[in-house]
Amino acid sequence: MSMTLFWMIVGMGVVTYIPRLLPLIALQTENWPSWSKRMLSRVPYAVLGALIFPGILYIHDALWFGVVGGVVALVLSSIGAPLIIVVGGSITFLAIIQFIM
């Protein structure tokens, strides 16, 4: 491995790790006002929304592909299927559709 590439990868690792680590070691949230704690606890749901949309539309050239997969996942998780079944089921369903078409 060239030294430049080695140090580049190490550098990428460091700048990725710092934002992941910093709040865990530097933040003391105990005395923060309640609204800020409330907002932090809501971050996961807003992140999930942003992670799903609009990205799900672009997994394939055809927009409907992601939409159909999303609906399958929605139905499976609504009936209480475990995570792995939801993920595996969505993949399988899309594979079958593609195979038929």
Q: Is 84 in the site for other proteins (CB under 8 A)?
A: yes
Q: Which residues contact 29 (CB under 8 A, 6 or more apart)?
A: 36, 37, 40
Residue 59 DSSP one-character state: S
Please tell me the total number of residues recorded for the chain in this structure. 101
Q: Is 63 in the site for other proteins (CB under 8 A)?
A: no
Distance CA 87, CA 37 (A): 32
Nearest distance, CB of residue 66 and other proteins, angstroms:
7
Interface residues with other proteins (CB under 8 A)?
1, 4-13, 15-17, 19-25, 27, 29, 35, 37-56, 59-60, 65-66, 69-70, 72-74, 76-78, 81, 83-84, 86-92, 94-95, 98-99
